[in-house]
A and B are shown apart, each in its own frame.
Chain A
């Protein structure tokens, strides 16, 4: 009996976890081309977790890197990858391509409806 209850609890926790982990998130596409990010400015809503789909159209890999967002991920040449960001409060969060930090740069602008960021 105890074993059955334990199994049920574990199953419920797993289902809840899966539901949380794969919940629908607003998606934003970010493209890397000629070592530049397109778009270089992304506006996302405040206090919401969002999904960035990063597509690398270059022939060399690039590393999406942001100390502001605490994210770091290699996007291989000609491949795409997913990065989850947030929930964030209003403000500007910089990111760059760590392999080309001088050219590949961008900003995530987090806006709340009440308080717009310029």
Chain B
């Protein structure tokens, strides 16, 4: 139970840690003291909505022939993708502090609620068994420590690149993270038969197993799939291509927004 708790914590908390690091670094220039209160409110609402989802997820799961959670979560993942693209466009073309912070708050809220609720469904499901409480707590603390270490390491690696005037790495990872979210939405849609399934194009498990610590990290960061189908690949490439096309189109046509300066 102890090891299982650590693994499940890592699995669910890594996306939250990664998005916090990426938002922290990309928001550095746009953050101001006046946003502290909205950020704390967002954190509070995220925790509340997580507990709401944990409490009612078993009832929600029974709706729409048992497909409601997949439908809800896949909509959230698509929403996160769209919000991150909007956020990146804001950074590149129109640095508006307030808008950037509000979009970032929404992204954090969605990523936190979906992933934290997945872990707490497990946690609360076993908390009633007294003999399991200690391993659950220790496992959670160990998982938290590992996630914190990974987060700090990622933060300082990306900060190092920022000092070398290479902020592009942070934005690129944020972009790839968003495409990974779309991949998760595809998996959920496949699970409820809303999308057609295809044979896997390749199997890269021998290189990087999805069911490993590094696999969890790359799945959370880039949406890594060891056995992707043509549908995964097509959607991932489309998710990469359309915003890139938009970026180059806007850049070449100099459709730069009016308020380029930081407000």
Name A's B-contacting residues (CB within 8 A): 20-22, 25, 49, 51, 60-61, 63, 67, 70-74, 76-77, 79-84, 86-87, 89, 98-101
Residues of B with C-beta under 8 A to A49: 193, 197
Query: CA A84 – CA B187 in complex, angstroms?
Result: 11
Report the minimal beta-carbon distance from B255 to chain A, rounded to whole angstroms: 29
With A20-B196, A21-B193, A67-B210 in contact, is A99–B4 under 8 Å at CB? yes
CB of A81 within 8 A of CB of B66, answer yes
Q: Which of B186-214 contact A (CB under 8 A)?
A: 187, 190-194, 196-197, 199, 205, 209-211
Query: B121 an interface residue at 8 Å Cβ cutoff?
Result: yes
Residues of A with C-beta under 8 A to B121: 61, 74
Query: CA A99 – CA B139 in complex, angstroms?
Result: 13
Residues of B with C-beta under 8 A to A83: 191
Query: CA A63 – CA B118 in complex, angstroms?
Result: 10
With A20-B196, A82-B66 in contact, is A77–B190 under 8 Å at CB? no
Query: CA A61 – CA B226 in complex, angstroms?
Result: 27
**What are the interface flags for B217-246 relative to A under an 8 Å C-beta threshold, 1 for contact and 0 otherwise?**
000000001110000000000000000000
Residues of A with C-beta under 8 A to B205: 67
Q: In the complex, what residue of chain B is closest to A51 when comparing beta carbons?
A: B193
Report the minimal beta-carbon distance from B94 to chain A, rounded to whole angstroms: 33
Number of interface residues of B (CB under 8 A): 33
Q: In the complex, what residue of chain A is closest to B199 when comparing beta carbons?
A: A89
Residues of B with C-beta under 8 A to A98: 4, 8
Tell me what chain A mostly uses at the interface: helix, strand, loop, or mixed.
loop
> What is the count of residue pairs linking A and B with beta-carbon distances less than 8 angstroms?
69
Residues of A with C-beta under 8 A to B209: 67
Residues of A with C-beta under 8 A to B58: 61, 76-77, 79
Query: CA A84 – CA B197 in complex, angstroms?
Result: 10
Residues of A with C-beta under 8 A to B57: 74, 76
Name B's A-contacting residues (CB within 8 A): 4, 8, 57-58, 61-62, 65-67, 69-70, 118, 121-122, 125-126, 129, 187, 190-194, 196-197, 199, 205, 209-211, 225-227
CB of A86 within 8 A of CB of B126, answer no
Query: CA A80 – CA B192 in complex, angstroms?
Result: 14
Query: Could you say which of B66, B69, B193 contacts A80, with CB atoms under 8 Å apart?
Result: B66
Residues of B with C-beta under 8 A to A80: 66
Query: CA A81 – CA B125 in complex, angstroms?
Result: 17
Residues of B with C-beta under 8 A to A61: 58, 121-122, 125
Query: CA A20 – CA B226 in complex, angstroms?
Result: 27
Would you list the 7 A-B pairs with minimal beta carbon distance, nearest first? A76-B58, A84-B193, A61-B125, A82-B66, A81-B66, A67-B211, A60-B125
Residues of B with C-beta under 8 A to A99: 4, 8, 122, 125-126
- Looking at A20, A70, A81, the one whose CB has the most chain B CB atoms below 10 A away is A70
Residues of B with C-beta under 8 A to A67: 205, 209-211, 226
CB of B193 within 8 A of CB of A74, answer no
Q: In the complex, what residue of chain A is closest to B192 when comparing beta carbons?
A: A84
Query: CA A36 – CA B121 in complex, angstroms?
Result: 20
- Looking at A63, A74, A86, A100, the one whose CB has the most chain B CB atoms below 10 A away is A74
